[in-house]
Amino acid sequence: MEDPGTLDVDLQFGAVRSQVPWRLVVPDVEVDFGLSRNVELDIDAAYAIEGPDNGPFTLDHPAPDNLWLAVKLGLYDSHGNGEATSWAVGAQLGPKLPVATAAHGIGYEGLLLVARTWGESHLVLNLGGLIDPGVQVSGQRPAGIEGGLDLSLKLGQSSYSITGELAGVRFVSADADQLHATAGVTWAATDSLDLSMVGLMGFLSGGDRVGVLLGVSPKFALWK
């Protein structure tokens, strides 16, 4: 959870290959804004330029992703060992707007979040489900159960952290399942700016195959 009045903008740029074409991610955006101690507003979106199945890459195939507008709620937290370690439980939920090409109807996504924090490191389990906008408002909409595990491990007293993620979606619709893993490193250049590099690998036919992303994550204190 971001502190009240803090705006965190996470931008990632890079190249990702799906099952056939490559695409340039310009960018993948996550915006988190702390409204109060236990309430945060989140915006998750992405814009990419996709190459053709065959032939040279061109810049005339936009591939935006659906936009997720969500509220994150802190439901419970417990500190131990002089507040050096803690457990936290929260939820993130909200509508998904049909921004992707040929998408129709409003979708929904909701996650239950369980986090373990020690020092400046954390491990987060997220479980939930989604119904995405589809090619029809009343049918053919991707729907599934999703889960993931996110790790950020601080390297001693340095300004570097190792990050990793394992996440997947089991669709109950006709869509192909997804499973991917990421690994990377984050450098806290200043108290309000993180820089990162992340590699991605997919394991099932429904998701991307490989990718490399560079991240820039500034924070802004709008009020205290």
Q: Is the C-alpha dihedral spanning 51, 133, 92, 123 positive or negative?
A: negative
Which element (helix H / strand E) includes 132?
Answer: none
Contacts of residue 29, defined as CB under 8 A and 6 or more positions apart, other chains included, come to 9, 10, 11, 12, 43, 44, 45, 46, 47
Nearest to residue 46, comparing CAs of 75, 61, 24? 24
pLDDT in tens, 161-188: 999 999 999 999 999 999 999 999 999 9
Distance from C-alpha of 15 to C-alpha of 83, rounded to nearest angstrom: 40
Q: Domains of the chain by range and CATH? A: 6-221 (2.40.160.40)
Predicted confidence at residue 143, as pLDDT, reads 96
Angle value at C-alpha 122, between 117 and 123, nearest 5 degrees: 105
Length in residues, the chain: 224
Residue 55 has pLDDT above 80, yes or no: no
**Is the overall model pTM greater than 0.75, yes or no?**
yes
Considering the chain, what is the average pLDDT of its residues? 93
pLDDT in tens, 100-119: 988 999 999 999 999 999 98
Percent of the chain at pLDDT above 90? 80
Distance from C-alpha of 14 to C-alpha of 22, rounded to nearest angstrom: 11
Residue-by-residue DSSP string for 82-107: TTTEEEEEEEEEEEEE--STT-BS-E
Predicted confidence at residue 83, as pLDDT, reads 61
